[in-house]
Structures are given as C-alpha cells and as structure tokens.
C-alpha cells in the first residue's frame, strides 16, 4: 500500500500593521527622570508604537490582513483565529468583526483565543491541524494587541501596539511549520490582568526569570525528545517583551563550549530579528512573529531549507519551542522597504503621548461616541479605523 506523503503546511503570507504614532524611548526617560541608558542599553529599546483611541485590535488586525489578502485568498479562508489579550468585547470575538471587514466568504469559522502572548502560537497549531484534514483550505491567523502598563510604572518602557496577520496554507511560500514542538505550562502569577483592571499586574523581575527558565527547560526537553541540538538550526526568534530579554534568551541557548564563530553567527542573526521590535515595543501575541518578519526581511544570510527555532512565551504561563523551515524563494514574498513605514510615523512629545494614553471612548446616554472627524482617522495609514460607537456597537470604517 502506498503511504500518502505528508503535506507541507505553513506561512504563505505575512502582514504587519501598526499605529501612525510613536514615542522615542529617550523622551520617556527624560519624562520619568531616568537615565536614558537604562532603556536604550538596559532594555535595548529605542521607540514604542502608541495607538490612538481610533485604532484597536480589530482595526489593526484587519489592516494587517488587508495588506496581504487577495480575492482568491478571501474565497479560500475557512477559519479566522485572532490571538489577543486586548480584547474589545467579553463575548463577541474580534475575528467576527474582521471576517466582515475583510469580506471573507461566509462559510467560515471565526474565533478569538487567549493565553497572554502565547495565543497566536496556539492558533498556528490549530490552523495546521485543520489544514491537515482540509488540504485546500486556508486559515487566517492574526496576532493583535495594544500593550499598556500605565504611566510611570516599571513596565511603561515596554509598551507597544501592532498586529501581525499570517495566511496559513499548504505548500506555503514563506515557511513550513514543522511537527517537532515542546510546550510547557506553569501556573504562575508573573503578569496578569483581572477583568476589573485596565492594566496588567506585573511581577517584572519574576516574569523575566520565568521566561528564561521556561526557555532553557523547554529547549532541553526538545533536544532530548527529537535528538537535536544547536547545529540543527540556522537562527532563533524569540517572543520579545523588550529586545534585551531576547539577547539573554539567545545567550542562554549558546552553551559555553559553542565555537566563537558559531556564536557570532547566531548573534548576528539575532540582531536582525530585533530591528522592528526595537521600534515598535512589545506587541504581546504578535511579538514573536514580528521578530520572524524582522529576521526574514533584514538578514541576508538565510536560504531555503534553513531551520528557524521559535520560542513563544505567554505569561501565566504557557510556552512552546517549535521550528519552521524556510521555503524556496521565500524572500520574494516579503518586503525589502518596510523600514520606510517606520520612518513616516509621527513622533509624539511626552505630553501628546500621555494625552493619547488617557483618551477613552466616552459614551453619551444612548451609548454613542463619534470619532469621524478625529485627526487620528485623517492621519492613519491603515486600511481600517474605529469610526464610532453607535448604541454600544463598534463601527469600523475602511479608509484606504
Ligand atoms: P526595572 O526593574 O525598572 O529595570 O524594569 P531594571 O532595574 O531591571 O533595569 C533594566 C535593565 O537596565 C537591567 O539590565 C539594568 O542593569 C539596566 P540587566 O541587568 O537585566 O541586564 N540598566 C542600565 N543599563 C545601562 N545604563 C544604565 C542602566 N540602568 C539600568 N544607566 C522590567 C525592568 C523588565 C522588570 C520592567 O520593564 C517590566 O516590568 N516590564 C514588563 C514585564 C516584562 O516585560 N516581562 C518580560 C518577561 S514576561 C513576558 O515576556 C510576557 C509579557 O509579554 C506579557 C504576556 O505574556 O502577555 C510581558
């Protein structure tokens, strides 16, 4: 009996959307009376994306997907999964709004998934399992978040906002998601956000220790389970709450006896994987995939067949180590001018940032709030914005 060859499933297209505004981390340091080197060198952060009230996880997620999807894709998508921890509703999934905004064929499943920054990685796994049984289907996975810790808190310098959209299908043109993976769950309180709180409660130093310990223990298990080691990989990407933690992560994988040349090769690639994260900040669920996008678009030493180790971590905590294999001609399906998007953003002063931070949707007695004349909508480069709330219903508008 002929054994059916396993189909290859993975990332066929990848898009990224961020708000128009950013704060220079040095301005934050001045505003908070901190030495700028604490943020610039200590966290290796340089800027962070700031979302106005007219951009939320729905508008950003739909905008990221709109960049990559064509009519044919929209006909073939059978499932939309949004990973987020900045949800706009306790019942209705953001994926349902996004399904409508993108005009995806109606016979699709649309859901939202949550486990802190890990959600989108679980979504990729579900997408892969679905396509294994439905070979011609595509799944749209979106990782969308707005990270807000609060003014003058230790986490403030690690905020960010943005969304990654990935089209998952068979014979992908960017990267195959391989079967080897190891997950780990630890019931810990390192970072959490109770329903009554606008901001997370964070045990910052404990969280960084857990992130690193989860990485080393999960990677050890992975090496034993699959009889692999560093030599099986060409590069690594990490969840990046701030780039310096990624640097600690890669250093923890490079065992003491690793040759200097190999160490430098991994470190050089690591630095290309943080180019975007340094300028966006933590985007929670999308952060690992922004590192991947940054690596693939900024590194010249990768080729088809190379294996990329991926470390996903969500506080609470769940983590996963898995890997991707780069597809033939992957570069042709990426951009080589994305940094232009960063350069055309508007820089905020610390005062403007604080005003934007505190702006909220304020409803009148009928549950209405109208942003249609807001300058944030006029200035946005994204495809979708939140235009108004009518009778407690969020209304989005396509502007591009
Ligand atoms: P902190 O305690 O104010 O800062 O906040 P610090 O004192 O630890 O300093 C930070 C670094 O700057 C240190 O480097 C200092 O030495 C250095 P390290 O020793 O660690 O290498 N430093 C300087 N360097 C040069 N010149 C100077 C200078 N001063 C200090 N003058 C903390 C840091 C990370 C705790 C804070 O930003 C925070 O709470 N962030 C939020 C939590 C977080 O990001 N945790 C990461 C792991 S958990 C995770 O990844 C999940 C998450 O994404 C959420 C989710 O899953 O949903 C957060």
3-class state of residue 391 by DSSP: coil
Residues in binding site: 149, 248, 282
Q: Which of 47, 115, 117, 237 is catalytic?
A: 117
Atom 17 (ligand 1) nearest CA:
42
Other C-beta atoms closer than 10 Å to the C-beta of 223 total 15
- Residue 100 appears among annotated catalytic residues: no
CA distance 110 to 82: 8
Detail the DSSP E strand segments found in the chain. Answer: 9-17, 21-24, 47-50, 77-83, 109-113, 138-147, 160-170, 175-185, 191-192, 201-202, 235-238, 307-314, 318-326, 346-347, 369-370, 384-390, 393-398
- Residue 214 appears among annotated catalytic residues: no
The CATH number of the structural domain formed by 176-330 is 3.40.47.10
Residue 92's pLDDT is 98
Ligand 1, residue 116: give the atom nearest the CA: 57
CA distance 25 to 355: 17
Q: Do domains 9-175+336-398 and 176-330 have the same CATH topology?
A: yes
Q: What is the DSSP letter of 354?
A: H
Q: Could you read off the pLDDT tens digit of each residue along the chain, which spans 400 residues?
A: 667 788 999 999 999 999 999 999 999 999 999 999 999 999 999 999 999 999 999 999 999 999 999 999 999 999 999 999 999 999 999 999 999 999 999 999 999 999 999 999 999 999 999 999 999 999 999 999 999 999 999 999 999 999 999 999 999 999 999 999 999 999 999 999 999 999 999 999 999 999 999 999 999 999 999 999 999 999 999 999 999 999 999 999 997 778 999 999 999 999 999 999 999 999 999 999 999 999 999 999 999 999 999 999 999 999 999 999 999 999 999 999 999 999 999 999 999 999 999 899 999 999 999 999 999 999 999 999 999 999 999 999 999 9
- Report the top-level CATH class of 9-175+336-398: alpha beta
Q: Which of 66, 85, 297, 320 is catalytic?
A: 85
Q: Hey, which of 157, 186, 204 would you mutate to test ligand 1's pocket, going by the most ligand atoms within 8 Å of its Cβ?
A: 204
**DSSP codes of every residue in 95-122:** HHHHHHHHT--SS-EEEEE-BTBTHHHH
pTM of the full structure: 0.98
Over residues 45-69, the pLDDT tens digits come to 999 999 999 999 999 999 999 999 9
List the structure tokens of 6: 């396993």
Domain residue ranges of the chain, discontinuous segments joined by +:
9-175+336-398, 176-330
3-state secondary structure 277-332: HHHHECCHHHHHHHHHHHHHHHCCCCCCCCEEEEEEEECCCEEEEEEEEECCCHHH
Q: Which of 47, 78, 156, 239 is catalytic?
A: 239
How far CA 298 is from CA of 224, 235, 284, in Å, comes to 32, 13, 21
């Amino acid at each position: 009996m002929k054994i059916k060859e396993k189909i290859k499933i993975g990332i066929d297209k990848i898009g990224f959307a961020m708000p128009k505004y950013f704060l220079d981390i040095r301005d934050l340091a001045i505003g908070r009376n901190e030495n700028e080197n604490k943020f610039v060198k200590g966290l290796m952060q340089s800027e962070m994306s700031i979302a106005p009230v007219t951009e939320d996880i729905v508008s950003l997620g739909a905008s990221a997907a709109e960049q990559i999807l064509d009519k044919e894709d929209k006909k073939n998508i059978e499932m939309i999964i949004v990973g987020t921890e900045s949800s706009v509703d306790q019942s209705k999934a953001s994926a349902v709004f996004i399904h409508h905004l993108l005009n995806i064929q109606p016979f699709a499943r649309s859901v939202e998934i949550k486990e802190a920054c890990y959600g989108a990685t679980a979504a990729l796994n579900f997408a892969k399992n679905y396509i294994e049984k439905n070979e011609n289907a595509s799944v749209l996975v979106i990782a969308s978040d707005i990270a807000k810790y609060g003014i003058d808190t230790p986490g403030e310098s690690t905020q960010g906002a943005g969304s990654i959209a990935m089209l998952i299908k068979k014979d992908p043109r960017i990267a195959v998601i391989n079967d080897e993976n190891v997950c780990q769950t630890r019931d810990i309180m390192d970072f959490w956000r109770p329903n009554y709180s606008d901001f997370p409660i964070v045990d910052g130093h404990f969280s960084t220790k857990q992130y690193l310990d989860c990485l080393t223990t999960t990677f050890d298990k992975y090496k034993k389970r699959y009889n692999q080691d560093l030599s099986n990989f060409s590069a690594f990407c990490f969840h990046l709450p701030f780039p310096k933690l990624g640097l600690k992560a890669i250093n923890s994988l490079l065992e003491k006896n690793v040759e200097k040349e190999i160490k430098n090769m991994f470190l050089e690639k690591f630095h290309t994987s943080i180019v975007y994260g340094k300028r966006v900040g933590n985007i929670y669920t999308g952060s690992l995939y922004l590192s991947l996008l940054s690596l693939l678009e900024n590194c010249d030493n990768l080729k088809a067949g190379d294996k990329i180790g991926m470390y996903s971590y969500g506080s609470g905590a769940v983590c996963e180590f898995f890997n991707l294999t780069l597809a033939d001609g992957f570069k042709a399906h990426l951009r080589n001018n994305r940094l232009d998007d960063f350069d055309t953003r508007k820089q905020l002063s610390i005062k403007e940032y604080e005003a934007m931070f505190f702006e909220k949707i304020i409803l009148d007695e009928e549950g209405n709030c109208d942003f249609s004349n807001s300058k944030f909508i006029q200035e946005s480069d994204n495809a979708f914005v939140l235009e108004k709330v009518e009778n407690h219903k969020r209304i989005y508008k396509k502007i591009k």
